[in-house]
Amino acid sequence: MTPTNPLIAATFAPPVMEARRWLDGVHFPPDRPLLNVSQAAPVDPPPEGLRRAMADALLTRPEAHLYGPVLGNADLREELSRAFSAGYGGSVAAEQVAITQGCNQAFCAVMASLAGPGDQVILPTPWYFNHKMWLDMAGVETVPLACGDDMLPDPDRAEGLITPRTRAIVLVTPNNPSGAEYPSELVGRFYDLARRHGIALVLDETYRDFDSREGAPHDLLTRPGWDETAIQLYSFSKAYRLTGHRVGALITNPARLAQIEKFLDTVAISPSQPGQIGAVWGMRNLGPWLAGERAEILARRAAADKALSALPGWRLKSAGAYFAWIEHPFAESSADLARRMVAEIGVLALPGTMFTPDDDPSGARHLRIAFANVDAAGIGQLAERLGLLRG
């Protein structure tokens, strides 16, 4: 057998794909169809206007079929720089923006520019599993920072984890998997911590369009020299239902982008042309529609909060954007409970063990519920089914 990279072999299998395999051979009767709350991705296509814009470009614009700039098309970089400048009350130039093949690639590119084998990166737990997987495969040591009972990380505890090998702290807000929205003051404290120690603060804002708060979620982009410390990640996938077209972005200083360009050029050469075209059209034309999408997600969050909070014995820890993080009342591990739920109540959810270190007992006590693709009635059914489970 040919060799296998031991760093890749050592990390875990993709959790969503693993969970999907639990469905093999399971029959779901018509009166109890599967409730899939395992993945946070829109299942409906983009609005018709956006699809028509992409289709027209494929028919009439020759450049839609060619390589583009490695850091992304100029019109999308400019559009995003204007949107972030206006949305955060700061100043973002197009030269500080790069477009990537999805936000996961943005994270990988940023980390490739920051850290190498033997370096350390601090991740709050529960963490987004793909972040951990990339760090494993890159030979970077993940240093877990356990969140409190309010599902918020503590900057003072983080400072105690910083060593000469630390290269970055990563925050995800609204959070995946917990849904927690990090207060502006907390994000600011992490920024000050990172700046004081000369490390990066990487802020993944994949779900920023569905934040329940009005106005800017933090003030980092208003601070002088922000791009020397803060690196922001963004995804167009959730906002415009472009998951299959893989369009993400990152914002940092031009010097770091010069290093990131090396990574992107060797991985994808350039981001998807149809996806970028769709993202530009969406940013220019879908403001009211996106506001409606946000309102619907917030309504589903409220429904999830109400239904899951009323479950006897269960404890809803947090909910926001697409997710709820809930503590179950049973003695068994969530890894076993999640598989049992498929057969017994027709619910597919991810266990907390997929978002925590192996030696962290909190993972066994929790489940992640991705409610964004379930309407209020479906969320009610979900709570009813969870209530049928017995230890």
278 near 242, Cβ under 8 Å? yes
Q: Which is nearest to 70 in space by CA: 39, 34, 109?
A: 109
How many C-beta atoms lie closer than 10 Å to residue 360's C-beta?
Answer: 16
Residue 331 is predicted with a pLDDT of: 95
* Domain 6-45+289-388 falls under CATH 3.40.50.300: no
HSE on the CB side for 191, CA within 13 Å?
23
> Are domains 6-45+289-388 and 48-284 of this chain identical in fold?
no
352 near 363, Cβ under 8 Å? yes
334 near 328, Cβ under 8 Å? yes
Domain boundaries, the chain: 6-45+289-388, 48-284
According to CATH, the topology of domain 48-284 is: Aspartate Aminotransferase; domain 2 (3.40.640)
- Dihedral Cα 71, 76, 81, 86, nearest 10 deg: -160
Report d(CA 110, CA 105) in Å as an integer: 8
How many C-beta atoms lie closer than 10 Å to residue 7's C-beta?
Answer: 14
**21-52: burial string, b at 16+ Cβ within 10 Å, e else:** ebeeeeeeeeeeeebbbbbbebeeebbeebee
Q: Which is nearest to 316 in space by CA: 270, 274, 368?
A: 368
pLDDT digits (tens, 9 = 90+) for 65-122: 999 999 999 999 999 999 999 999 999 999 999 999 999 999 999 999 999 999 999 9
Residue 40 is predicted with a pLDDT of: 79
Strands (E), the chain: 35-36, 97-100, 120-125, 141-146, 166-172, 200-204, 230-235, 248-251, 315-320, 323-327, 347-348, 350-351, 366-370
Report d(CA 339, CA 324) in Å as an integer: 18
Task: Report CA Rg, the chain.
Answer: 21
Report which residue type is found at 372: A
Strand pairing class (200-204; 230-235) = parallel
Report d(CA 30, CA 53) in Å as an integer: 38
Report d(CA 192, CA 155) in Å as an integer: 9
- 351 by DSSP, 3-state: which? strand
The pTM is what?
0.95
What are the residue ranges in the chain where pLDDT is below 70?
A: none
Residue 145 is predicted with a pLDDT of: 98
DSSP 102-119: SHHHHHHHHHHHH--TT-
